[in-house]
Amino acid sequence: MSKIRVSLPDGSVKELEQGANILGLAASIGAGLAKAAIAARMDGELVDLTALLHDGAKVEIVTEKSPEALEIVRHTTSHLMAQAVKSLIPGAKVTIGPAIENGFYYDFDVEVPFSPEDLEKIELKMKELAKANSKLERLVLTKAEAIKLFCEMGETYKVELIEDLDVATVSLYRQGDFVDLCRGPHLPSTSFCKAFKLTSIAGAYWRGDERRKMLQRIYGTAFVDKKELDAYLSRLEEAKRRDHRKLGKELDLFSFSDEVGAGLVIWHPKGAMLRTILEDFERKEHLKRDYDIVLGPQILKTELWQRSGHYDNYRENMYFTEVDGQSYGVKPMNCLSHMMIYKSQLRSYRDLPLRYFELGTVHRHERAGVLHGLLRVRGFTQDDAHILCTPEQLDSEIKGVLAFVSDVMGIFGFEYEMELSTRPDKSIGSDDDWERATKALLGALQDSGREFEINEGDGAFYGPKIDIKLRDALDRKWQCATIQCDFTLPERFDLTYVAADGEKKRPVMVHRVILGAIERFIGVLIEHYAGNFPLWLSPVQAIVVTVTDNQIPHARSVYKTLRAAGVRVQQDLRNEKLGFKIREAQLQKIPYMLVVGDKEVESGTVAPRYRDGKNLSVMTAVEFIEFVNTEADNYR
C-alpha cells in the first residue's frame, strides 16, 4: 500500500499508510495523544478524528486544552440535548442548535411549552445518554437522500433547511438513534460531554421571522471540565443578583407597562435623576472637547430618509406617520438634522472641524422577541455626535474620539476591546469612498497601539466603523461606543466647504457615540456596580434618619441645608426602629445614612454611616457637605 506524508505544527513530517485517519495519526505520535484527541485542524479546517488524511496535509491535533475545544464541546452537547428531548418527547421537531459565546441553544417545535421542571428531566436524560458513550458518526448523503430521510422522520424543518442549500451532498451526524443535519466537527463520543447545565427557556421565531411559528428555545452551557462549569455557574448566579431589571424595580429607578407599550421606558424620580447626572456629565465632557450642542426634531420628511438611504436600507427598523398628507419618518438616528445645520450656511475650511453633539431621542422598531429591559428598547436617547471635517483632519478627529472613549471608560472603570467592522453586502457609496473610510479607521487603530480585530461585513450601510466593546465587573462584553467614517452622506446631501484654493470640496462626516444609548448604558452600569453607584453618580447620596420623633425638627433642618447645597438627600422621619430604617436605606444602596439622635440634636451634628456599615466621625451638616463634594469631585 502506498504511503502519504503529513506535516505537524513543529515542522516534523509523519509517514502513514494510504487511508489513515486523524486518530491513526494521533496514535502514531503517542497513545496519550490518541486518548486526549477530540478533533483536528487539517489544512486550516476543523475536522473529526475519523477524517481521512491526504498526502501533503498540514495537521494539528485538537485536545481539550486547545482553544478550539470549547466550541466543539458545546456543539456536541447541543446535539446531546436534542437527542434527550427527542427521547423524552418523540413528537418534538428539531430545528437548529449552534454553539454560542457562552454555551449553546437548540430550538424545538413542541405542542406544550417547556417548563423549568422539563429542563431538569432533559438534563438527567442528557447525563444518561452521555454515559452510554455513543459514537458520533459522520454520514454524507446526496441532497435527495437527506430530504427523503428527514421526510420519513417527520423533521420538516430539516427538510426546509436542506432544500435551501445549493449543494449536491450534505453531512449528517448520528449518535445512537438520533440523526441531525450538521457540518461538524464533533467530539468522538457522547462520553466527552462531561460538564454541562441547561440554563433557561425562551421563545424564538423560526429563522428569526416573526411571521413564522414561535419555537421553544432551550439555552445551556458546557465546559471541558466541571471546575470551569462551576465557576461559570457562580458568575451566572452573580449576574442574576445584579440583573438591572430586578435592581431597577428594587431601587425604584424605572418600569415598563403593557398599557404604554413594549420597549418604552418609564423613568421614576430616582432613575430620571440618574439619567440627568449622566446627561449633565456628557454635556460637560463634550463642551470641554469643543463640541457644539444642537437639537433636531423627532420627525423628518420621508423624502430626506429616502435621500440618505435609510428608507431603502433601514426602513424595517423605522416608524412612519402622516401629517397634512405628508409622510414623515420618526428618526432612528440624528445625522440628518446635523447635516441640515451644516447646510444652513456657507462653510470655509477655516470653520472645520465642526462637532455637533445631541442627546437625541430616537425610536427603532425592534422585534418583541429581542426586547430586554433597558438593554434593548424601542425608544432611547443616544449621546450622538457628528464631526464634519476636511479629509486632512480626519485622522486627528478619529484619534480624538478614541481618546475621548478611553477617558470616559476609565472614569467608569471599564476595560474595553475594539474591532473594525467593514462594508456589508447591503450598503451605499462608491468602492473608493469605502476604501478611504476603512483606511482612515484602520490607520487610527494601528497608531493607537491597542489590539483590535476585523469584523468583516458588519459596518453601517453608509460606512465602516470601529466598535468598542466594554467589559463589566463580571467580564461580560457590551457594545456601547462606536465611530463611523462616512464619505457617502456628505455626497448625497451636497455638503461642501470652500477650501484654501477657493474651490468647493466635500467634508468627511464622522458619526460617533461614546456611551451609546443612555438607557442601555444605565442598564450596564446597574449590573456593573450591582446598584452600588459611586457617590457622584448616586441618584440619592444621603438620607437623614431619626432615632425618635424628638429629633424631627433638627433632621428637617439638616435635610434643608443639604438640599440647598445641592446634595441629593432624602429623609426618613417615620416612627420606626432605627435598625429597620438603616436596613431599608442599605437595601436602597444609599451611600450615606445621617443618623440624628438626642446627642446630635444637642451638638448640632449628624452621625454619618456608610452603606457597608462603617461609621464616620460625627460632623456638622456643613462639614458633611464639604465631605460629599470632595468625594464626588474625585470621580476621575
Is 539 exposed, middle or buried (CB count within 10 Å of its CB: 0-12, 13-18, 19+)? buried
CB-CB contact of 470 with 453 (8 Å): no
Residue corresponding to grid cell 460629599: 628
Please, what is the angle between helix 116-131 and helix 69-88, to 10°? Answer: 110
Please check whether residue 538 is in contact with residue 590, taking contact to mean a CB–CB distance below 8 angstroms: yes
**Grid cell locating 570:** 432624602
Q: Which tens digits make up the pLDDT trace of 382-401? A: 999 999 999 999 999 999 99
Tell me, what's the pLDDT at 503?
95
Nearest to 418 by CA among 433, 430, 403: 403
User: What is the number of alpha carbons within 13 Å of residue 435 lying toward its C-beta?
Assistant: 3
Helix (H) or strand (E) holding 420: strand 415-421
Question: Whole-angstrom Cα distance, residue 546 to residue 364?
Answer: 47
Q: What is the pTM of this model?
A: 0.81
The percent of residues in the chain predicted with pLDDT above 70, rounded, is 100
pLDDT at 635 over 80: no
Identify whether the C-beta of residue 517 lies closer than 8 Å to the C-beta of residue 379. Answer: no
Distance between CA atoms of residues 629 and 574, nearest Å: 28
How far is CA 563 from each of CA 268, 430, 457, rounded to the nearest angstrom? 19, 58, 52
Domain boundaries, the chain: 3-63, 69-242, 261-297+334-529, 542-633
Which pLDDT belongs to residue 386? 96
The predicted structure's pLDDT at residue 1: 58
- Secondary structure in 3-state letters for 532-572: CCCCCCCCCCEEEEECCHHHHHHHHHHHHHHHHCCCCEEEE
What pLDDT sits at residue 204? 87
SS3 at position 496: coil
The helix/strand/coil state of 308 is: helix
DSSP assignment string, 370-410: G-BTTTB-SEEEEEEEEEEE-GGGHHHHHHHHHHHHHHHHH
Say whether pLDDT at 636 is over 60.
Answer: no
Please write the tens of the pLDDT for every residue from 325-344.
Answer: 999 999 999 999 999 999 99
Q: In what order do the strands lie in the sheet with 607-610?
A: 569-572, 542-546, 592-596, 607-610
The domain 69-242 is classified under which CATH number: 3.30.980.10, 3.40.50.720, 3.90.550.10, 3.40.640.10? 3.30.980.10
Q: What CATH number labels 542-633?
A: 3.40.50.800
Average pLDDT estimate for 278-288: 96
pLDDT score of 477: 86
pLDDT tens sequence across 432-472: 889 999 999 999 999 998 899 998 988 888 889 999 999 88
Which residues does the annotation mark as catalytic? 335, 364, 382, 384, 386, 465, 511
pLDDT in tens, 120-159: 999 999 999 999 999 999 999 999 999 999 999 999 999 9
pLDDT digits 0-9 by tens, 77-117: 999 999 999 999 999 999 999 999 889 999 999 999 999 99
The CATH superfamily assigned to 261-297+334-529 is: Bira Bifunctional Protein; Domain 2 (3.30.930.10)
Per residue in 311-320, pLDDT (tens digit) is 998 899 999 9
Q: How would residue 253 be classed by pLDDT, with cut points 50, 70 and 90?
A: very high
From residue 90, alpha-carbon distances to 107, 109, 156, 202, 582 in Å are 15, 11, 14, 21, 56
* Tens-digit pLDDT profile for residues 478-494: 888 999 999 999 999 99
**Single-letter residue type at 171:** S
Name the β-bridge partners of 542. 569, 592
Cβ pair 508, 260 in contact under 8 A: no
- The pLDDT value given to residue 271: 97
Q: CA Rg, the chain, in Å?
A: 30
Structure confidence by residue, pLDDT tens digits, 531-584: 999 999 999 999 999 999 999 999 999 999 999 999 999 999 999 999 999 999
Q: Which fold has domain 3-63?
A: Ubiquitin-like (UB roll) (3.10.20)
Res. 178: pLDDT tops 80: yes
C-alpha span between 533 and 406 (Å, rounded): 20
C-alpha cell at 167: 449543494
Distance CA 243, CA 202 (A): 17
Percentages helix, strand, coil for the chain (3-state, rounded to 5) are: 40, 30, 30
Name residue 223's amino acid: F
User: What is d(CA 413, CA 475) in angstroms, rounded to the nearest whole number?
Assistant: 12
